[in-house]
């Protein structure tokens, strides 16, 4: 994989053979180059700081599997969805991920037509594969940070323009049945 490929912005690869029975603890801090690359990847103005404490340890419940537990502390700058002004936010997140050799992971079942069976937000996350005997702890941190970002950042006090809000409120007052009747009447003419 090339150094510029997505996922390599904050790479900290650990050989699973180095993880003893007591586990391995890493303290990761993103340098300026990694923070800039992550900001480009996340399509946000800036990752101002990123630090994480990550613990890799054998899963006591299942042999040959590993747990990756971590705590992220970051400060990011995003764009307000209302005013388009910069918004600074602190992100603190804890996570647990499971990793196993690819031969232990069942292939994905045919998802078929019924999304309800596989789109369960309460279901346990799938196990991540260990590739080449390695786990990239930095990539895991970057993924978890991306998941923790506010999808609709809003600057305190930012509001919609008055005319916009008034039109939306007036439209909300119209019954959906009245709107359908209006459409139906328009088709007859």
pLDDT band for 167, please (50, 70, 90 cuts).
Answer: low
Distance between CA atoms of 45 and 26, rounded to whole angstroms? 27
Neighbour-count burial for 91-128, b at 16+ CB within 10 Å, e otherwise:
bebebebbbbeeeebeeeeeeeeeeeeeeeeeeeeebb
Q: What is the pLDDT of residue 3?
A: 46
Alpha carbon 17 to its chain centroid, in Å, reads: 28
Q: Which residues contact 116 (CB under 8 A, 6 or more apart)?
A: none
Per-residue pLDDT at 96 exceeds 60? yes
The closest of 61, 45, 58, 33 to 138, measured between CA atoms, is 33
Q: What is the pLDDT of residue 79?
A: 94
pTM of the model: 0.75
The closest of 165, 144, 156, 136 to 87, measured between CA atoms, is 156
**pLDDT per residue as tens digits for the range 50-79:** 999 999 999 888 878 999 999 999 999 999
Per-residue pLDDT at 114 exceeds 60? no
Look over the chain and give the mean of its residue pLDDT values, rounded to a whole number.
83
**pLDDT per residue as tens digits for the range 150-162:** 999 988 877 776 6
Distance between CA atoms of 167 and 126, rounded to whole angstroms? 45
Sign of the C-alpha dihedral computed for residues 133, 96, 28 and 74 taken in this order:
positive
10 within 8 A of 50, measured Cβ to Cβ = yes
Q: What is the pLDDT of residue 4?
A: 46
pLDDT band for 6, please (50, 70, 90 cuts).
Answer: low
- The CA R_g of the chain, rounded to the nearest whole Å, is 23
Overall average pLDDT of the 132-150 stretch:
95
Q: Report how many helices (DSSP H) and strands (DSSP E) the chain contains, helices first.
A: 4, 7
DSSP string covering 92-160, please? EEEEEEEEEEGGGSPPPPP--S-GGGT--TTSPPPPEEEBTTEEEHHHHHHHHHHHHS-SS---TT---
pLDDT band for 124, please (50, 70, 90 cuts).
Answer: confident
């Amino acid at each position: 994989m090339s150094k510029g490929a997505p996922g390599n912005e904050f790479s900290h690869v650990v050989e699973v053979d180095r993880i003893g029975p007591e586990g391995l603890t890493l303290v990761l801090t993103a340098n300026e180059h990694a923070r800039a690359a992550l900001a480009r990847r996340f399509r946000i103005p800036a990752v101002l700081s990123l630090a994480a404490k990550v613990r890799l340890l054998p899963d006591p419940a299942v042999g040959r599997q590993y747990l990756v537990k971590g705590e992220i502390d970051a400060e990011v700058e995003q764009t307000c969805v209302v005013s388009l002004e910069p918004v600074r936010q602190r992100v603190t997140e804890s996570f647990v991920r499971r990793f196993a050799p690819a031969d232990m992971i069942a292939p994905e079942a045919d998802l078929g037509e019924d999304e309800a069976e596989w789109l369960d937000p309460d279901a346990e996350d799938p196990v991540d594969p260990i590739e080449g005997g390695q786990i990239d702890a930095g990539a895991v941190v970057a993924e978890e940070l991306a998941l923790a970002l506010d999808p609709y950042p809003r600057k305190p006090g930012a509001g919609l323009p008055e005319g916009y809000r008034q039109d939306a409120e007036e439209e909300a007052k119209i019954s959906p049945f009245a709107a359908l009747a209006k459409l139906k009447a328009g088709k007859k003419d």
